[in-house]
Amino acid sequence: MTTVGILGGGQLARMLALSGAPLGLRFLVMDNVADACAGQFAPMVVGDYRDEATLAEFASRVDVATFDFENVPAESAQWLSERVPVFPNPGALATAQDRLAEKTLFRELNIPVPPFAAIDTREQLDAALAEIGTPCILKTRRLGYDGKGQFRIKTPADAGAAWDALGAQASKVGLILEGFVHFQRELSVVAVRGRDGEFRAWPLTENWHVDGVLSASLAPAVVDSALGEIAYDYARRLAESIDYVGVFALELFCRDGELLANELAPRVHNSGHWTIEGSETSQFQNHLRAVLGLPLGDTRMVGRACMLNWIGEMPDALPMLREPGGHWHDYGKQPREGRKVGHATLRADSAEALSASLERVGEALGRQAQVAPVIAALR
């Protein structure tokens, strides 16, 4: 009996556990809150990620460990990796935790990125602003997610406000200034690399965000197929360079037919949830296969799929359940503003059928604004 340990007990851990059940796997989840939603399906160890006693108990009960969120302290990942196999490796996790380290790596690998500069002081901000120009975005290097820890600088006059908002973070987590990309689309490639180096990727996905949080994803993205090959190549080179094992997402901006890398998410990713029903093998199943050294499953798509995120509260399930390709995922979380509480995936064999389904669901739930950009992309 193999037990997979997961650091972090949110919906990603929950979906990993659900996906691993048919493989006969057991799971143990560690989280710092007792009501983490993966705990509804897997035993939990509750404690601070930095607490050695909790980590030691976790390590003693698992055969292999992985993550459901990237902000596990790097020292804790390192400590664990000296006791049990940990995938992705702590070095890869550390790179992905730091926007400066990941952008530097992208650049080294000749993966295009917006201009960027490390910022530790107000003087450096002024110097970088002169160099990069406006508009641009000041971000925390670490611990930012879903658009948090960011300040958009529209004109040089905003520099003071940006420093007031984030300057205090400079000495704690570091800052990075990035040139603003006037992109037409946001895309992601979700990919997986096995312990033996086998590499696969799912088709490019287009993503729409509201207030910095993913709202909808469409796969395959309706783009020139050459872009899919470029994204595949970037993801493969990236994974090889840091000996990455498991699933990850590379978030990309598409500007005038060119792809620029935004960030590397070192885990199963929200833009890959559609793979549960829309692909031969889901990202969750393939992540488990990768960390266990099992053969990877095919990442082929079955038709087209759109994922809609439910933020704050769950809508009525019935309109989605009535759709021929409608699939419902309630994470069993308490509703709270801004919280990802569930998602739904619509799968269909053609763009027309997917659009028609989206129109019906959008109308029935009063969520026309959420489905509209996806329908427009499918036209």
Amino acid, res. 187: L
> Cβ closer to ligand AMP: 123 or 211?
211
Binding mask 240-259 for ligand AMP (x = CB under 6 A): -----------x--------
63 Cβ contact list (under 8 Å, min separation 6): 2, 3, 4, 5, 84, 85
> Cβ closer to ligand AMP: 144 or 319?
144
Asked whether 85 and 65 are in contact (CB, 8 A), the reply is yes
Helix (H, G, I), strand (E, B) or coil at 205: strand
In the region spanning residues 188 to 247, those forming contacts with ligand AMP, defined by CB under 6 A, are 209, 212
Judged by CB under 6 A, the residue of 76, 89, 215, 262 near ligand AMP is 262
Q: Which residue(s) pair with 176 in the sheet? A: 118, 139
How far is it, in rounded angstroms, from Cα 178 to Cα 113?
Answer: 9
Judged by CB under 6 A, the residue of 90, 144, 174, 325 near ligand AMP is 144
Judged by CB under 6 A, the residue of 263, 289, 329, 375 near ligand AMP is 263
Q: Respond yes or no on whether the N-terminal peptide bond of residue 156 is cis (omega within 30° of 0).
A: no
Beta strand 64-67 with 3-7 is: parallel
Is residue 79 part of the contact set for ligand AMP (CB under 6 A)? no
Tokens representing residue 178 in the block: 């990035």
Judged by CB under 6 A, the residue of 47, 112, 147, 297 near ligand AMP is 147
Is residue 143 part of the contact set for ligand AMP (CB under 6 A)? no
Query: Shortest Cβ contact with ligand AMP: which residue?
Result: 181
Amino acid, res. 310: W
Tokens representing residue 53 in the block: 């006693």
Binding mask 154-193 for ligand AMP (x = CB under 6 A): ------------------------x-xx----x-------
- Residues near ligand AMP (CB under 6 A) are 114, 137, 144, 147, 178, 180-181, 186, 209, 212, 251, 262-263
